[in-house]
Amino acid sequence: MSTSVRNVIAWILQILLAIVFIKSGFDKLSNASQTVGFFGSMGLPGWMAYLVGGGELLGGIGLLIPQTVRLAAAGLIIIMIGALVMHATKIPGGLAGGAFAGALLLGLVIVLLLRRPARQLLA
């Protein structure tokens, strides 16, 4: 895959993922009392709602800044692994309900791979 095609694919994914995570983080933080209650119902401490919401918001913004893409994607991958664990263990619907979280996780991994330095890419 040429560098320009890889760059276009990465930017498309980054923009789509950024929109989702910025909205999700904003929604969590703007409805903080509901989010804290939801996290509490899963046995999580209330502060984690703020951590996840803030992480999603900042991570989404970070996906749009070339110097922070890899760090943002890595941080969001950690959040999405946690989301999948919660879907599998605490949220009704199991992993089937977490399909969107799985798709987001896959998109983040692809961005992380596409944004690796050129010398690390496989042919």
Number of Cβ within 10 Å of residue 4's Cβ equals 8
Q: For 88-109, what is the mean pLDDT? A: 88
pLDDT at 41 over 70: yes
pLDDT digits over 50-83, tens only?
999 999 999 999 999 999 999 999 999 999 999 9
| Higher-confidence position of 2 and 1 | 2
Domain ranges within the chain, ordered by starting residue: 3-115
pTM beyond 0.85: the answer is: yes
